[in-house]
Amino acid sequence: MKKEFKTADLFAGVGGIRIGFERAGFKTVFANDIEKNCKKTYDLNHKEPKLHVEDIWKVDISKIPEFEIMLGGFPCQAFSIAGHRKGFKDEKVGGNLFFRIAQILEERKPEAILLENVKNLNGHDRGRTFKVVKETLEKLGYHIKAKVLNSMTHGNVAQNRERIFIVGFLDKKKAESFDFPEKIPLTQSFRLLVAEEAHDKYYYNNKPLYEKIKKDINSEHTVYQWRRKYVRANKKGVVPTLTANMGRGGHNVPIIKNSKGIRKLTPKECFLLQGFPENFKLPSDLSDSELYHQAGNSVTVSVIQRVAENMKIVLEGGRINNQKSLF
C-alpha cells in the first residue's frame, strides 16, 4: 500500500498549487493565506480543509496538522521586475516571509518542499538573494534543485509565464533522484479558451480607448496589451504573463479581437489560461479587478501538477533521472 503524502499549503491564494498536487495524488491538510478575498474563492472550490486566513507570522506552528510536504508560492513582489526589487529588505510586500518559511521548516522538518517564485528571484541583487535562500534551506538539512519553467513549454498552456521552482528533500538520495519535468509540445491555442461572446463591459468598442487601439489590434490570432501609450502584440501567439496587477489599474489585462470587436480577456478566461479547470467557480460578490488579481497572482496548475508527479515518484522510492549532481 502506497503512503499518502500530506501537504501544508502556505501562501495558498485561491488554491492553484493545491489543485496541482491533489491531481498528482497528494492530500492537503492545511492551507493558509492572509487575504480574506482569497478565502471566498478558495472555499467555493475546495472541500476540507478550508482556507485559514491569518498572518503567517501569527500562525501557531505547533497547531499545523502533521504533513510531509511544505508548499509555498511565497510573495514575489519584492523580487519581481514589476516591483521595486528590494528583496529581503522589503517588509511591506513580504520579502522577509521566506524566513518564516525557514522557521516552520526548522520546527517541523517535512520530508520535502516546493517553493515557487518569479524568475527574477534567481538574479535578484546579483544572485545574492537566491544564494541566501539556497544556503538557508541547506543549513536546515535540505538538498535542493531549482529551475525556471515556462507555462507554454512545460505546462501546455498558451501563456508565456516563467517562474522559478525550488524543490528540496531531506534525503539526499531522493534529491539526486529528482529532476524537473522535460519540455512538452504546446498543442493548446489561446483561442480554444476564449469565448466568442462576452459581456459588453469587456469590449472597448465605443469607449475612449478604442480610437487609440483599433488600428493596431487587427488579428484574431494574436494577443495584445495596452501599455498606457502604445499597443504591444505578443509575437509568440500566446498570452503574455498574467500579472497580479491586471486588476489594479487594468492596463495589463490582455486584449483580443473577435467578430464582435476588441475586448479584454474576462477573469474566467484568465483562470483557464492558468490551467484551472473549466468548473472552477468565481464568487459573484467579488469585483472583476479582484478576480484578475487572484488569477494573475496564482500559478499555472498544469506545471505544478507535472512537478508534483515527479516529486511523488521520488518520494515513493522511484527515480526521475540518473544524474547525481545537485543545483
Give yes or no for residue 263 having a pLDDT over 90: yes
Phi-psi region of 141 (alpha: psi -120 to 50; beta: other; left: phi over 0): left
User: Could you report the per-residue pLDDT of 172-200, keeping only the tens digit for each?
Assistant: 999 999 999 999 999 989 988 988 889 99
Q: Write out pLDDT tens, residues 68-123.
A: 999 998 775 444 333 443 444 544 444 478 888 999 999 999 999 999 998 877 76
End-to-end alpha-carbon separation of the chain, Å? 32
* Same domain assignment for residues 177 and 82: yes
The pLDDT, as a whole number, for residue 87 is: 40
Here the CATH number for the domain that contains residue 16 is 3.40.50.150
Residue given cell 515527479 in the structure block: 310
**Among 38-42, 204-208, 220-224, the range of highest mean pLDDT:** 38-42
307 and 293 in one domain? no
* Single-letter amino acid code for the residue at 179: D
Q: Are residues 168 and 44 in the same domain?
A: yes
110 and 180 within one domain? yes
Mean pLDDT (the chain, rounded): 88
166 and 289 belong to one structural domain: no
At residue 106, what are phi and psi to the nearest 5 degrees?
-65, -40
Domain annotation covers residue 54: yes
Kindly state the percentage of the chain with pLDDT values over 70. 88
Closest CA to 87 of 30, 23, 131, 46: 131
Would you name the residues annotated as active-site residues? 76
> Does the predicted model carry a pTM greater than 0.85?
yes
- Do 125 and 181 lie in one domain? The reply is yes
Provide the residue range defining the domain that includes 288: 190-297
User: Residue 147 above 50 pLDDT?
Assistant: yes
- pLDDT tens for 237-248 read 899 999 888 877
Residue pair 246/287 in contact (Cβ under 8 Å)? The answer is no
Distance (Å, whole) CA 203 – CA 200: 5
197 plus 81 within the same structural domain: no
Q: Are residues 173 and 60 in the same domain?
A: yes
Regarding whether 217 and 91 lie in a shared domain, the answer is no
